[in-house]
Structure 1
């Protein structure tokens, strides 16, 4: 059984599951087997264990580790909102006008 210092991913115990499942794609079968044994002996999170077992079976069938950096944080990726389309006059909705009897959210106007 491995200790924390021997694990192929730094700060493994503190990685969120979503980050962990993407980082295991960068590992070979030996490193992944080490992590799987550690996970089963410590936290034994079913989601993580099943993701690792699935990845190990993929590696056994000929899949290759991705070329990414297993210690990457993803901080270089642009925010999701920056990648979206910008609104323009052609794509924006109609102007919002208050009802003719006043604005119901404004207590100073009569209703």
Structure 2
């Protein structure tokens, strides 16, 4: 039964979407579609941030907001960047450290502490 509920959701891979992506993608959905997502969310993961987001979008639609044009599947930044995981920061893009760590680095070994007697 959970499979059929999941397969009828208006956003594919809904359960795996980060909240930032979800926020932009629900803007293209109708009120009925947002209500389906909200009902699914409440009966499954019930994540407070997601239920607030979906509830707020539903309120906007009831107040007269229109769904934006576009395909909710079109923007998938997580498919290009996040599919491999990890941070986009690399050694080439990270800043130089201000001072070496106390244990030293390969090119600058640590110095022993002064004699403590």
Aligned match of 1:38 in 13, 17, 40?
40
Mapped to 1, the partners of 2:76 and 2:44 lie a distance apart of 26
Counterpart of 1:6? 8
* 2:23 paired with 1:21: yes
Mapped to 1, the partners of 2:45 and 2:32 lie a distance apart of 20
TM-score, normalization by structure 1 = 0.64
1:29 shift after superposition: 0.3
Which blocks of at least 5 consecutive residues in structure 2 are unaligned?
Answer: 78-106, 109-117
Which blocks of at least 5 consecutive residues in structure 1 are unaligned?
Answer: 76-105
The structure having more radius of gyration, on CA atoms, is 1
1:21 shift after superposition: 1.0
Structure 1 residue ranges (4+ consecutive) displaced by more than 6 angstroms after TM superposition:
none
1:69 shift after superposition: 1.1
TM-score, normalization by structure 2 = 0.60
Counterpart of 2:114? none
